[in-house]
Amino acid sequence: MAPFYSKNFPALVIACLLCGFGSAPAHGFQHSPVSSKALNKQQQQQRTTSLQSAGERRERSSLAAINEQQDSIKTGTAGWAQRTITVTAPSRGCHLITSEISKQVPELRSFRVGMANIFLKHTSASLTINENADPDVRTDMESALNQIVPVKWHNTMFRHTLEGPDDMTGHVKSTIVGASLNIPVSNGGLALGTWQGVYLCEHRDTGGWGGGFARDIVITIQGITSSD
């Protein structure tokens, strides 16, 4: 059998150099002083440091963009306003009240940017946004709601019937359409589209409790007021 040094020694040296670790040094030759575990830990630390640096760069870039945007906006004062208005619907159906809101809420003109919450304090009427030009749209809306919630349900399905056939149907329509709106405010007015308007939908034949069609609406505005 050939001596160990003459045949196996070079292969063992090459294996040790390639692997970087072993169970013990072979015949006076030492392994690499950095183990693979140490290398992995060092690489992880470098990667973490790199990611942190990238995150800090992105954060600085975002802050710079925000500051630049803020510098380009005319400064103002943060504030809010709230007012309760009364709007009278001339009859059952859908009615355009956008101009009435602007008229009864003069504080709106003080806000350059913000949000307006418009909240109806009733359960048999509703608020929505739809076309402001053709009045036939409002007529068709009322017809569609009457098909969706037919008056015949008063006798065939509803149990709450003491207040008349238009009452429970009005409650259901109010739930379907909704009792509040959130509309952006821009340059002293509601930022509606060209063909958009705010509707008050009256669902009762004789208005709310006690008769009449007067409906109370709370309007709350939050935003930035003009500095002029």
Domain ranges, ordered by start, for the chain: 4-72, 77-225
Kind plus residue range of the DSSP H or E element containing 66? helix 36-72
How many whole angstroms separate alpha carbon 78 and alpha carbon 107? 14
**pLDDT (0 to 100) of residue 214:** 92
pLDDT tens readout for residues 9-36: 455 444 444 445 444 444 444 444 555 5
CATH H superfamily, domain 77-225: YjbQ-like (2.60.120.460)
pLDDT at residue 53 greater than cutoff 80: no
Q: Residue 88: name the closest of 212, 197, 218, 220 by CA.
A: 212
Q: Which two tokens stand for residue 218?
A: 């709370």
How many whole angstroms separate alpha carbon 6 and alpha carbon 24? 20
Kind plus residue range of the DSSP H or E element containing 184? strand 180-186
pTM of the model: 0.67
How many whole angstroms separate alpha carbon 194 and alpha carbon 188? 16
